Homo-oligomer: A and B are copies of this chain.
Amino acid sequence: MAVRAGVVVTGTEVLSGRVTDQNGPWVARQLLEMGVDVAHITVCGDRPADLTAQLQFLADQRVDLIVTTGGLGPTADDLTVATVAALCGRELQLDAELEQHIDAIVQRWRSRMSTAVDSEPLNAGIRKQALVPDGAQSIAPTGTAPGVAIPATGPLPAILILPGPPRELQEMWPAALESAPVAAALAARSEVRQSTIRAYGLSEADLAATLRTAEVEVPEFGDLEITTCLRLGELEMVTRYPDSADAAYAKLSAQVAETHGRQIFSTDGSTIDDIVATRLSGHLIATAESCTGGMIAARLTDRAGSSAYVTGGVVSYSNEVKSDLLGVPAEMIAEHGAVSEQVAASMAEGVRRRVGVDIAVSTTGVAGPGGGTELKPVGTVCFGIAMADRPTVTRTLRLPGDRASVRALSTTAAMHMLAAALA
């Protein structure tokens, strides 16, 4: 890949770990999908010297484009444009048209504010946001902060300056790509393909063994850039390759499918959530959750349009709710314990009957840190799937990690059980 880029994320709240950065990963994904090689992401606080050092570092690494995020607000600690302009030796000029544009946006916003705001600092802020370095192109704001695209300057690469709020940045992205400085920087990029295989219940070691075999048997294996990543029990294998390596990837993916077909659930980029949503079309689903406490329902309803198949569910955290709302017999809980396949089955059947749907999923387990026993240690989770005209299926897993890990792994396991039941 000929064209390289670096991303600089600014903001003390990100550097200090109080806010999770969404922009670096998002920009990196966009660039990679376009065939641009992202070499570095760096994070700095709101200190001009540190920002300058990172920009200079990326320039020294000979990237063709730097994308910065954040630091475009109206206040004094928002310094990105001034810092970049100084590094490039470009004077800041007031763009009167841009100033009017921002002013109109701020006036609209101001008219909805309950409290009075001083005009003077407000106007100073607007003027500051309308400053554009000499020879740069501004990117129209979707919030109040415009972006700036600066052409390559001597040894410095093209620099694209975007605001920090993820929604603003993402909405401005298409216009930013079309700006002359960015388009010129990315002109030489080569198209790459990216293919993803996802498996559930496959170990990294087993996939690594298959890849070692493929390395010997697949011609042009070296043209395939493979990364694997294990996350919540799902193993993802992403391969990037030029058009010329199409046949090599076809051979590799056939070998992986042959060896691990039982664990592979996606070869077209779809996630387990996509698959469950597709398979739920024409069905109605309800949930009965104990240890996952609503996470499965929240995940199912995360998708636009999910009201077509999600009717609802019950979070039966206490035994009383299991009995009162789901009809789980108190004697069953007393005999087998709340964490048992019997109770999981009864919960799923109970919510299915109660809500009148054709498929229901249940969880009951020990999320920890307390509540574990020798027979049912922390991480023991029972699942149930009840469907119309079919025997109820139950399963017990021992999931590793702390409370958050057990709950997240349980939610993902339930999604995979749903996908299998609906296949």
Query: Which of A's residues lie within 8 Å of B, judged by CB?
Result: 12-20, 24-29, 32, 38-46, 50, 53-54, 57, 61, 75, 113, 115, 117-118, 121-122, 167, 203, 205-206, 208-209, 212, 227, 229, 231, 236, 238, 286-287, 289, 292-298, 300-302, 304-307, 310-318, 320-321, 324-325, 354-356, 368-370, 401-405, 407
Contact B167–A401 (Cβ < 8 Å) = yes
A227 touching B13 in the complex, CB below 8 Å, given contacts A43-B24, A312-B314: yes
List chain B residues, Cβ under 8 A from A209: 117-118, 121
Question: 25 A-B pairs, CB-CB below 8 angstroms?
Answer: A14-B25, A15-B28, A17-B28, A18-B227, A20-B20, A39-B50, A43-B43, A46-B227, A115-B206, A117-B205, A121-B208, A287-B315, A289-B294, A293-B297, A294-B294, A294-B295, A294-B301, A302-B404, A304-B403, A311-B318, A313-B314, A313-B315, A320-B356, A324-B354, A325-B325
Nearest 9 A/B pairs, CB to CB: A294-B294, A293-B301, A17-B25, A294-B297, A312-B321, A294-B298, A13-B229, A41-B43, A17-B29
Smallest CB separation, A331 vs chain B (Å): 20
Contact A26–B16 (Cβ < 8 Å) = no
Nearest-CB residue, chain B, relative to A356: B320
- Cα separation A121 to B206 with both chains bound (whole Å): 11
Smallest CB separation, A156 vs chain B (Å): 16
List chain B residues, Cβ under 8 A from A300: 293
Smallest CB separation, A193 vs chain B (Å): 14
Q: Give the contacting residue for A317; candidates B50, B53, B302, B307; CB below 8 A.
A: B307
Contact A325–B298 (Cβ < 8 Å) = no
Contact A293–B321 (Cβ < 8 Å) = no
Contact B293–A302 (Cβ < 8 Å) = yes
Contact B19–A229 (Cβ < 8 Å) = yes
Contact B316–A312 (Cβ < 8 Å) = yes
Q: Give the contacting residue for A41; candidates B42, B46, B238; CB below 8 A.
A: B42
A16 touching B43 in the complex, CB below 8 Å, given contacts A298-B295, A321-B311: no
Q: Give the contacting residue for A229; candidates B18, B50, B231, B295; CB below 8 A.
A: B18
List chain B residues, Cβ under 8 A from A61: 50, 53
Contact A25–B32 (Cβ < 8 Å) = no
- Cα separation A297 to B316 with both chains bound (whole Å): 10
A32 touching B50 in the complex, CB below 8 Å, given contacts A294-B295, A304-B368, A324-B354: no
User: Residue among A205, A206, A289, A304 with the most chain B CB within 10 A?
Assistant: A205
- Cα separation A43 to B189 with both chains bound (whole Å): 22
Nearest-CB residue, chain B, relative to A355: B321
Nearest-CB residue, chain B, relative to A368: B304
Q: Give the contacting residue for A313; candidates B16, B294, B320; CB below 8 A.
A: B294
Nearest-CB residue, chain B, relative to A113: B203
- Cα separation A293 to B370 with both chains bound (whole Å): 27
List chain B residues, Cβ under 8 A from A206: 115, 117
- Cα separation A324 to B407 with both chains bound (whole Å): 28
List chain B residues, Cβ under 8 A from A321: 286, 311-312, 355
- Cα separation A121 to B227 with both chains bound (whole Å): 19
List chain B residues, Cβ under 8 A from A14: 25
